[in-house]
Amino acid sequence: MPSFDLEQQTVRELNQALHGAAPDSNDTLWEVANSDGKHAIAAGADAAVEIDIRGHVGYYCAGMNKRASVRIHGNAGTGVAENMMSGVVHVMGDVSQSAGATGHGGLLIVEGDAAARCGISMKGIDIVVKGSIGAMSAFMGQAGNLVVLGDAGDALGDSIYEAKIFVRGRVKSLGADCIEKPMAEDDRARLAELLSRAGIEDARPDGFRMYGSARRLYHFHVDNIASY
């Protein structure tokens, strides 16, 4: 079991070791101690391993993650799981802005709250936030799902494309071209699956409202010019 102490070793040494992990290696559990808010920890991992980070992390932790399961025992700074492709990133605390930004796949789970722009420009990632989210979340969301058990801030889903947003709490305001939509059976099934994967047993799809694109801004029309 590889173990890194970031008081004694550098983030670059950790990431280089992760990037060089052999596909058939038995070293499937990596432990990282004394993260102390350092940036870019476990960025670019591309192996089916578990990475256990003991402490808070800074910017872009687990960015570009592919296949790895990353567990952060603390809070995360800007851009956690940014541009994630696959795997799971699980934050046991709160996250700063732009969590899961531009993510193409995988699952991001946040036990606490997420700041502004959670899921900005998401392209297929699934995000489950057990607390509340800040303003402009899912801005220009293209694909994937954002699930929020708490409340959502201003301009939720502004300029959204085909991503879907599920909120159990209150929504302060909706952004341009974002509307509430009825949930079909496949939407309920997908939401139930995400809640189960995030370890949430006491929430039911019926307690959520779904939001998505009104599709008014896909093509230019002079009547909508104030919304562009």
Mean pLDDT per 10-residue run, the chain (228 residues)?
Answer: 95 95 81 98 96 98 97 98 98 98 98 98 98 98 98 97 98 97 97 97 92 82 58
For 96, counting Cβ atoms within 10 Å of its Cβ (0-12 exposed, 13-18 middle, 19+ buried), the class is buried
How much is the pLDDT for 115? 98
How much is the pLDDT for 221? 61
Q: Six-digit token pair at 184? A: 């079909």
- Measured CA to CA, the distance from residue 184 to residue 86 in angstroms comes to 26
pTM: 0.94
Residues paired with 166 in a beta bridge: 147, 210
How much is the pLDDT for 1? 83
How much is the pLDDT for 142? 97
Spans of all domains in the chain: 1-112, 131-228
Residues paired with 29 in a beta bridge: 50
Which residues does 185 contact at the CB level (< 8 Å), separation at least 6? none
Q: Which residue, among 159, 216, 165, has the nearest Cα to 187 in the 3D structure? A: 165
